[in-house]
Structure 1
Amino acid sequence: MLSLFAYAAIMRWCAAPSRITLVLLVLAACVTVGLSLFSRAPMKRDWRPLAFIFSMGGTYYFLAVRLSPGAQLVPETVGASLQLLGIFWQLFAKGSLSRSFGILPANRGVVSRGAYRFVRHPMYLGYFIADIGFLLVNFGLQNLLVYGCQFALQVGRIVREEQLLSADEGYRTYKGRVRYRVIPGVF
C-alpha cells in the first residue's frame, strides 16, 4: 500500500515539481512504516481491537489523503518547512527510542532521554507539525476530514499507550516528571 501511495504521489510531483510537500509526505510515511520493521520485540503489546484500529488508522491515514492540489493557505515553502521540522523532530524522537519504536501500543521499556525529556509522546508532535504543513498547502474538505480523523486517532492511540505503560512503575515515575503528552502547556 505504501509503495502504491508513494508512486501516485511521486507521479503527481513529477507533473508539478514545485509541490515539494508531496515528496515530504512520502518521506514521512516511509520513515514511519520503514522503522517499524526494525523494532524490538515488546514485553507487552495491546492487541485489543480499538488499539489496533487507532494504531493502524493513525499510521496508514496517508492512504486517504487527496494528492491533487487544494487551496493553498500558505506558500509551499512554509508548508514544506513545517513538514521538514516535523520530520526532523520525528527522527530525533525515533532516534531517542532506538529500536523501541513500533506501531501498536507496547511496552518496550521506558525511554526518558532525548526528545522524551520534553513531552511523553514526541513522535506524535512531529506527526502533527508535518501534517499541519501538508494540510495548509493542500487544503480541501477531504484532507481536512482525513487529518481531523488522524488527530483523533492519535489521541486515542496515546490514551491506549498510556493505559498499557502505566502498569510499569518506571513509566508512572516518568509521567510525574514529564507532565505533557504531546504539546507542552496544552496536552
Structure 2
Amino acid sequence: MTPYAPLIERGEKLLLLGAGCYFVFKNFTPVFVTHNVVACLYMAEALLDMTFTVIRQRGPLSHNWRDWLVAVLGTYASLLVVAAPQAPPVLPSVLCGSLALIGILLSLAAKLSLRRSFGIIAASRQLKTGGPYRVIRHPMYAGYLLMQMAFLLQYPTIHNTVVLLFTWWMQIMRIRAEEKILGTRKEWVDWSQGVKWKLFPFVF
C-alpha cells in the first residue's frame, strides 16, 4: 500500500458522496415527492454503497491507473442518470419495480457476504465464497446491472441509455481488472474453477 493510499481513499469517498448528492439533486421529485419505486430503490442502492464504502477494510490495491479509472467510472457514472417522469416506460412500472427490487436484494446479499471486504478499486481483500458467491463470481455487479436495467426501462431517455451503456462497459473492464489481481491467489483460482459464471448463469 502506497503512502498516499489513505488520502486517495478519502478522495474516493468524497467523490462517492458528491455523486450521490448530484443524483439526489437531479432526481428530487421522483425520489422524494412522487415516490417512484424504481427511483427510490436506485437511491437506496447508492446509500448502501456509501455505507459499505465507509466501513470497508483496506487491502493491497491495484497500482494500475486503468484499474482505478474503470472502477471509478463503473461505480459513479451510473449516478449521472436522470429520472424523467415525462418519458413513457418500456414496461409497466410494476415490472420495472420488481426487476429493481431483485437487483437491490441481490446486491445487498453480496454486500452482506463481503461485509468489510467490500471495495471500489480492484484489491486483494479477504476472499468470500458464501451467499450468492456460491453461484456467480460477481453477484453485486449483477445486482447493479438489474437495478440499472430497471431504471432504463422506467426512464428510457437517450441520456440514460448513453450513461448506462458506458457504465456497463466500464463494469466489464472492472471485472477483468479484479480477476487479474485475484487470479494471483490460489484460493481464488480454486474457487473460480467451481463457479464458472461471472454475472448471470448460462449467459456470462
The TM-score with structure 1 as length reference comes to 0.93
For 2:78, the equivalent position in structure 1 comes to 62
Q: Which residue of structure 2 aligns with residue 163 of structure 1?
A: 180
Deviation string 1:83-131 (CA, Å, 9 cap, x unpaired) is 1110011111111112110000111121111111000111011011111
Q: How far did 1:14 drift?
A: 4.3
Q: Give the corresponding residue for 2:29.
A: 11
Asked if 1 retains the 8 angstrom alpha-carbon contact of 2:23 and 2:80, the reply is no
Q: Which residue identity lines up with residue 162 of structure 2 in the other structure?
A: L
Q: Which runs of 5+ in 2 are unaligned?
A: 1-17
Specify the SS of the correspondent of 2:175: helix
> Which amino acid letter does the alignment assign opposite residue 6 of structure 1?
V
Equivalences, count:
185
CA drift of 1:20 comes to 2.4
Matches within 5 A, 1:163-182: 163-182=180-199
Correspondence list, 1:71-110, <5 A = 71-110=88-127
CA-CA distance at 1:67 after TM superposition: 2.4
CA distance in 2, matches of 1:177, 1:31: 29
Which residue identity is paired with 1:68?
A: A
| Cα distance, 1:18 vs structure 2 | 5.4
Corresponding residue of 2:13: none
Give me the whole-angstrom Cα distance separating, in 2, the residues matched to 1:45 and 1:84.
31
Give deviations 1:14-63, integer Å, cap 9, x for gaps.
Answer: 45x15222211111111113211111111x21132211111111111133
Distance in 1, matches of 2:125 and 2:202, equals 27
